[in-house]
Structures are given as C-alpha cells and as structure tokens.
A and B are shown apart, each in its own frame.
Chain A
Amino acid sequence: MKVLVPIKRVIDYNVKVRVKADGTGVETANVKMSMNPFDEIAIEQAVRLKEAGIAKEVVAFSAGVQACQETLRTALAMGADRAIHVVTDAELQPLAVAKLIKAVVARETPELVILGKQAIDDDCNQTGQMLAGLLGWPQGAFASKVSIANGLATIVREVDGGAETVEIKLPAIVTADLRLNEPRYATLPNIMKAKKKPIVNTTPAELGVDVAPRLKTLSVAEPPKRKGGVKVASVDVLIEKLKTEARVI
C-alpha cells in the first residue's frame, strides 16, 4: 500500500503572530516556519504503517513556495521515502490544494491519503474533506485511531460528544487529530539520510489545476483586545468581586 501525506509549511506554533500595520496580512518576514503540527502527526502515522508492514511506501507532498523543500526534508527525515513539491508562489486556498492533491493522486494511485485535520495558519479544517469529495472517496476526519486490515480502515474519530467509529473502504482519506500519535523527532543520521531522498518538483500548470483563490481577503485586523484585569489577594476578595462587581455568581 502506498500512503500519500500532504504537509503544509506554516508559521511555527510558538511564534506570536503579528498583524501587518497595513492590514493586508500577518508578518512573515524573519519568522520561524515549521511543518504544520497536525501534519507531523499525519507523517508519523504513515511511517508507523510502514514500520508495521502495512504500507510499502510513504510519499510526502507539499504545495507552495520554494522553501517548502525544507519542510519536505523534515518529512523525509521522519521516515517518508520520497516527496513531491508543487512549486508556486500563488496564494493557495483549501479547494486549490485539494485539486492539486487530486491530480497527484491520479499519478501516484495511493490507497490512503493522510492529511492534518487543520492548518494552524488559516485554521480552515477543509482540505481532507474536500479531497474526499473530489475523489468520491470515504473520509475518516479527525482520527484519533486508525487500524487497517483487509482493504478497510477502521477510524476512531474525535467528535464533540466523545468518539465515533466508522469503517471505510480503501482507497480513503484520513485526517489526523492531536491524539492520533506523538510524532517522533528526526534524528541526526536520519536528517543526513533524508538529504539523499528524492524530491520531485512540479507546478499547478503541469498538473492542469487552476489555483486561483475563490475568497478575496479584504483585510486582516487585530482582534479586539481583552483589557487586563486585576489580581485579587484572596479567595474571599475574589468571591466578593464576582458577586458585586461582575455579578456572575
């Protein structure tokens, strides 16, 4: 079985994101970039499937600027076998990314595509479900457990009320939630080895995909700030404030 894992390069989750003064976006100059945390979990799951003998090959995929190469190298160092990079400077929205992945799926014919549930920059949580729709494949979104046997994937999904289990026929789409696994760190020897693993470049045009955005961002603004409050000296003062000042108890 071949597993395809789309990964996104995003601003590192530890960076305090700042809105640009002109309201066109957020500051990205000299900001640390990393693999989207959910995508690390997706890669880890694919590599574990390979280690368990269920998957034969793990192919990482990323669409975006040249620097996505670095992120793909990280995926290779974590255990992916090779990578595909759709190189473009264009703004990519989930529908466009899903179409690019679909085009790569047509070439690569994986039985399983594991994505992250959500990119922590756009917070969209769409691409996997969109890809499933475009391919007409079943989807196991927000997976906290994945077991594969006999051409079927049994997925435990995190839902608002608890957990839900679905069984889907391969080929299928899975999106990784936080509790699916704990991703490994790439070791130095593996980082060295990853340098020799192949990354193949392509472009949206070569894949025949129109990536023009459907949503236009008119402005990006700071959210309303909560004004800082006060420190209270004791539990008694706290209760007093909650009763008479805030009137919430």
Chain B
Amino acid sequence: MAVLVIVEHDNAQMKSVILTTISAAAKLSDDIHLLVAGSSCGAVADAAARISGVKKVLVCDAPQYAAALPENLAPLIVGLAQGYTHILAPATSAGKNVSPRIAALLDVAQISEITGVKSPDIFERPIYAGSAIATVQSSDSIKVITVRGTAFEPVIDSGGAAVIEAIAPIAANDSVRFIGQELSKSDRPELTSARVVVTGGRGLQSAENFKLLEVLADKLNGAVGATRAAVDAGFIANDAQIGQTGKIVAPELYIAVGVSGAIQHVAGIKDSKIIVAINKDEEAPIFQIADYGLVADLFKAVPELTAAI
C-alpha cells in the first residue's frame, strides 16, 4: 500500500527538508504520495510532482490551508488516511504541531523524530536528549511518523513526473484564526541545511558580539546558531536555538564558540561531520566531542580565524 508524505511549504516554495522525509518514506514503500495543502499553492504542487520517486501529488487548494493550522489540516489528512499504511511529516515545528493531532484522531500512536527505519513497523528514535536510541515497534494499522531531517539523505528534487490530483477541502474550523508571523530575515543559509554552522553561547556576552560570528559565518557561507543560554539572554532570536528542544543540525563543519557543551545542546549537533570548539575553559565538556578544540579567548581567536580564512 501507499505512504503519504505531508509537504511543508509557504505556498510558493516547498521546504527542502521534505526531500529527507521522502527518503525515509522510500524505505517503506515505492508507492509514495505527497499532500500539498495550501492556498494558491499550484507552484508547490508542480515542484512536488517533479521529485524523483513520487507517484502522486494530492493538492488541496483553499484559503483555510494558507497557514498550516492543525485544526484544519488534521481532519483533511484523517479523511485520506485509510488509503495509507504510513503518514509522514518532517520533524519540524509544523510537522510536530500537526502529526500528533492526526494520530489522536486516528486513535494511533505517533512516532516522533525517527532516525532510522528497520522495517515497515520498526523504527529507531532518540530519547533522553539523544542519550539513548530506542528501537520501537508499532502495532497500529496506520503509522503516523515525524522524520528527523539530518538522519536521511535527501532524494533528488527532479526527474519525477507524478500525477497531480486535486482533492476537496474540508470546511474551515472557526475556533482558530491565523493572525500573522514574524519570520527572521537572513541572507544566510538555513540553519538545518547549511554546510557550515557557527554557534555562539553565553561566552559571547552580548548581541553586539554575535557580529563576530556573523562575519566568520559569512566567510564560510554558513549559518549562525546559538545555545539556549545565548537565546535566553537575548543575544539572538529564538529560532537560532540548537539542541534537544531547538533545531537539529548536521553540517560538514560546526564551530562552537563560547559554548560549554551541555547535553541538551550536544543533542542537536552530534551528527555534524567535524566539530570545532573554541572555549577558554580547557575542562569544558564540549571538548569531549570536538574533533578540534582550541583553548582560547574567543575575542582573540575568532577575529584571528576570520582573518586567516
């Protein structure tokens, strides 16, 4: 039977993370369908239909799907569910918002943030901030799953020629109203897909000092991330937080500056290829997982590094 993947998009473009969700879906079935629910989202559906390996794209184009409100999305997906063995979404804030609601309406478990597919009903997922990996087996008829993007290789977004099929919307839920969004603007690559991530911690001391990291990140065409401590202190926006309860990243190069290496932070960076740590405390736990550790004052080392690259 077929597998349904919920496409995340902003009505103009699909989010690239979906390619990793489809990659996980491909381990379950070769009959992969995508759902694009949105408003004036035709271009997204067209792009989705070109993704390699996709058989069918269901499009539900109506104003109530303009923002991915779970109150509207969940009943739509529940209505489609009987045709599918698995319903997958990326483990993003949007995917985590809607998937449990779908699962509850179907009276099935939801399997969060899988990092491995062992068989159609056996999955791996991290627990305790990645301190352990659980292998779980689902006995439900429909498996509702969110997929950790960094754990799967993206499929190719071209070469496919899926059928596009329009589906009817469901009446809008009037208990919720989308008011607006304030998205962080940045010309830098997205944190979760950047090849290089430069992260600042409490050691940076101020928002002003984060500029040091921005210059370094720009030289490396990287993104800027942060620890919870740096975000809580107001040095940088909330959405820059990396870790157990923030974003999960796995870049080629991760540079942690003034970061102690708390387990909740490390949970979000463990799968990076190379980790560099710059910290003035040689006992900082971050050095236990860093490939290259530099014991130094960041205010001296970072400008030096930026200048030398």
- Write the residues of chain A forming the contact surface with B, with a CB cutoff of 8 angstroms: 11, 13, 16-19, 26, 38, 93-95, 98, 117-118, 120-134, 137-139, 141-142, 144, 154, 157-169, 172, 177-179, 213-223, 226, 228-232, 234-236, 238-239, 241-242, 246, 248-249
Determine if B308 and A17 form an interchain contact, defined as CB atoms under 8 angstroms apart. no
**In the docked arrangement, what's the CA distance between A60 and B290, Å?**
42
Nearest 10 A/B pairs, CB to CB:
A133-B104, A229-B291, A129-B100, A214-B109, A130-B104, A126-B100, A133-B101, A165-B179, A17-B131, A162-B183
Residues from chain B with Cβ under 8 Å of A215 in the complex: 109, 111, 136-139
Q: Closest B residue to A164 by CB, please name it.
A: B181
Chain A nearest Cβ from B48, distance in angstroms? 19
Determine if B100 and A94 form an interchain contact, defined as CB atoms under 8 angstroms apart. yes
**In the docked arrangement, what's the CA distance between A157 and B97, Å?**
11
Determine if A11 and B128 form an interchain contact, defined as CB atoms under 8 angstroms apart. yes
Q: Closest B residue to A18 by CB, please name it.
A: B131
Determine if B239 and A162 form an interchain contact, defined as CB atoms under 8 angstroms apart. yes
Interface of B is mostly: mixed
Specify which of B97, B180, B292 is in contact with A229 (CB 8 Å cutoff). B292
Determine if B232 and A169 form an interchain contact, defined as CB atoms under 8 angstroms apart. no
Determine if A167 and B290 form an interchain contact, defined as CB atoms under 8 angstroms apart. no
Interface of A is mostly: mixed
12 example contacts (A-B, Cβ-Cβ < 8 A) are as follows: A26-B128, A26-B131, A38-B245, A120-B129, A123-B128, A124-B112, A126-B99, A160-B192, A162-B239, A219-B135, A221-B132, A235-B294
Determine if A216 and B139 form an interchain contact, defined as CB atoms under 8 angstroms apart. yes
Q: Closest B residue to A26 by CB, please name it.
A: B132
**In the docked arrangement, what's the CA distance between A19 and B132, Å?**
7
B253 lies within 8 A of chain A by Cβ: yes
Residues from chain A with Cβ under 8 Å of B80 in the complex: none
Specify which of B93, B125, B132, B308 is in contact with A142 (CB 8 Å cutoff). B93
**In the docked arrangement, what's the CA distance between A126 and B144, Å?**
11
Specify which of B70, B74, B93, B274 is in contact with A159 (CB 8 Å cutoff). B93
Determine if A231 and B294 form an interchain contact, defined as CB atoms under 8 angstroms apart. yes
Specify which of B67, B113, B122, B178 is in contact with A218 (CB 8 Å cutoff). B122
Determine if B103 and A239 form an interchain contact, defined as CB atoms under 8 angstroms apart. no
Determine if A231 and B275 form an interchain contact, defined as CB atoms under 8 angstroms apart. no
Q: A138-B173, A165-B179, A229-B290 are in contact. Are A123 and B94 (CB under 8 A)?
A: no
Chain B nearest Cβ from A95, distance in angstroms? 6
The number of chain B residues touching the other chain, given as a range, is 35 or more
Determine if A214 and B292 form an interchain contact, defined as CB atoms under 8 angstroms apart. no
Q: A130-B101, A133-B101 are in contact. Are A235 and B305 (CB under 8 A)?
A: yes
Residues from chain B with Cβ under 8 Å of A121 in the complex: 127-128
Determine if B127 and A123 form an interchain contact, defined as CB atoms under 8 angstroms apart. yes
Determine if A123 and B100 form an interchain contact, defined as CB atoms under 8 angstroms apart. no
Residues from chain A with Cβ under 8 Å of B273 in the complex: 246, 248
Determine if A238 and B292 form an interchain contact, defined as CB atoms under 8 angstroms apart. yes
Determine if B135 and A166 form an interchain contact, defined as CB atoms under 8 angstroms apart. no
Determine if B245 and A17 form an interchain contact, defined as CB atoms under 8 angstroms apart. no
Chain B nearest Cβ from A136, distance in angstroms? 8
Residues from chain B with Cβ under 8 Å of A131 in the complex: 104
B126 lies within 8 A of chain A by Cβ: yes
Q: A94-B100, A232-B294 are in contact. Are A221 and B175 (CB under 8 A)?
A: no
Question: Which residues between 5 and 23 of chain B lie within 8 Å of chain A, taking CB atoms?
Answer: none
Specify which of A19, A139, A160 is in contact with B92 (CB 8 Å cutoff). A160
B71 lies within 8 A of chain A by Cβ: yes
B247 lies within 8 A of chain A by Cβ: yes
Residues from chain A with Cβ under 8 Å of B263 in the complex: 16
Q: A133-B105, A248-B252 are in contact. Are A220 and B127 (CB under 8 A)?
A: yes
Determine if B253 and A242 form an interchain contact, defined as CB atoms under 8 angstroms apart. yes
Residues from chain A with Cβ under 8 Å of B301 in the complex: 235
Residues from chain B with Cβ under 8 Å of A231 in the complex: 282, 287, 292-295
Residues from chain A with Cβ under 8 Å of B308 in the complex: 235-236, 239
Determine if B104 and A249 form an interchain contact, defined as CB atoms under 8 angstroms apart. no
Residues from chain B with Cβ under 8 Å of A128 in the complex: 100
Specify which of A139, A219, A248 is in contact with B70 (CB 8 Å cutoff). A139
B134 lies within 8 A of chain A by Cβ: yes
Determine if A168 and B294 form an interchain contact, defined as CB atoms under 8 angstroms apart. no
**In the docked arrangement, what's the CA distance between A4 and B181, Å?**
28
B182 lies within 8 A of chain A by Cβ: yes
Q: Closest B residue to A214 by CB, please name it.
A: B109
1/0 per residue, CB under 8 A from A, across B168-205: the answer is 00000111111111111000000010001000000000
Residues from chain B with Cβ under 8 Å of A38 in the complex: 245
